[in-house]
Homo-oligomer: A and B are copies of this chain.
Amino acid sequence: MNAGNAATHAPDLSDLRTPALVLDLDVLENNLRVMQERTDALGVRLRPHVKTHKCVEIAELQRSRGASGIAVSTLAEARIFAEAGFDDILWAFPLNLSRIGEAAALSRRIELGVTVDSLTAVEALEAAGVSFPVWLEIDCGYGRSGVPHGSGRVVEIARRISRAGRLSLRGCLTHAGHTYHADSPAAIAALAEEERRVMVEVGRALRAAGLEPGVLSLGSTPGMSRVETLEGVDEARPGNYALYDYTQTRLGSCAVSDCAVTVLATVVSARQGSDGAIADCGALALSKDVGPDDPPHYGRLFRDTSGRELSEHRVSSVSQEHGRLSGRFAVGEKVRVLPNHACLTVAHFDRFEVVRGRRVVDRWKIRRARD
């Protein structure tokens, strides 16, 4: 941490150069506390997915509050967090065969779980001749990756892992990503319960075949906001909950006041006497995620730097660096935008400007890397 330095350069939110990604530390800390308490109460370990924030300082806060390991979505992320001292990392993305050599190198230093949903991937891991803790991905109904639950291939692939000398079945994981498309809190709760039921059933089926399923892991942020019991499973892997975003508010996962990141932008062009202005919050700040609203927009205006609410306004269109704001603004005015999708927005910035209220207290690096 480097609070003194940041405070010297920009003691107040309104002094920041833009575009800037502002992280409200009070909100973040509350989000981390609430989810840790929730998983504790549900009797499961919390393995936060750090693809949302890509930030070592936030992962350290999650760990200090009780999180048990982390999940990542790329090998580059795994390497960065391994270097920062995280030694239980689940690469929760189906194994990329072009990356096995690198995964093996990292696996010699830390517990790096790799995810498979095919015999092809298991065979490639075997051929690498390295000990890997392997996680079997199950599709609980989302229809993206994973072995379809109920398919005989669940047992077939698990058996193959168990018989491979250097591999061990460390766990089974699923992600009910279809909670993001559910149209009511009740529908989200039903999908989250189905996700739990599927994983309990997978555990039973593997044990019936004489196999040890290992850790049963699931979780999405919307699902975790609604699930009533996680009986029979071991671990939850929500990610977005640390920051939340406008989409999560619409899903009912959180309130607007729970959203920890906003993009601070400056109005650079405004027509005299007419609605609409241009600010420096284009596609390379907010992303082109159109969010849940119809008509679509690229972020909701949150407030200005004086604290004035602007919630009736939107970023109505974006080009590469230009964001068009609905409403009347003057050149030089600063606004804060609540992004549709925090994970994609974070990936466009090099750092968080960490604030408590309006006071800038720190800068935390965002570790976006491909290699």
A-to-B contact residues, CB < 8 Å: 16-19, 51, 73-74, 93-99, 102, 117-118, 120-121, 124, 137, 144-146, 148, 153, 177, 266, 268-272, 278, 280, 283-284, 287-290, 319-322, 324, 330-332, 334, 343-344, 347-350, 369-371
Contacts and interface: CB of A to CB of B under 8 A. Distances in A.
Contact of A118 (B17, B51, B118, B331): B331
B118 A344 contact: no
B118 A269 contact: yes
A271 B148 CA distance: 9
B332 A320 contact: no
Contacts of A97: 266, 268, 331-332
Copies of this chain, complex-wide, total 2
Tell me which of A74, A177, A321, A330 has the highest count of chain B C-beta atoms within 10 A of its own C-beta: A321
Contact of A344 (B278, B283, B332): B283
B268 A145 contact: yes
B17 A102 contact: yes
A17 B352 CA distance: 30
B344 A94 contact: no
B369 A94 contact: no
B321 A350 contact: no
B73 A320 contact: yes
Contacts of A19: 370
A124 B332 contact: yes
Given A17-B99, A96-B18, A369-B350, A145 B322 contact: yes
Given A330-B120, A344-B288, A370-B350, A94 B269 contact: yes
Contacts of A271: 148
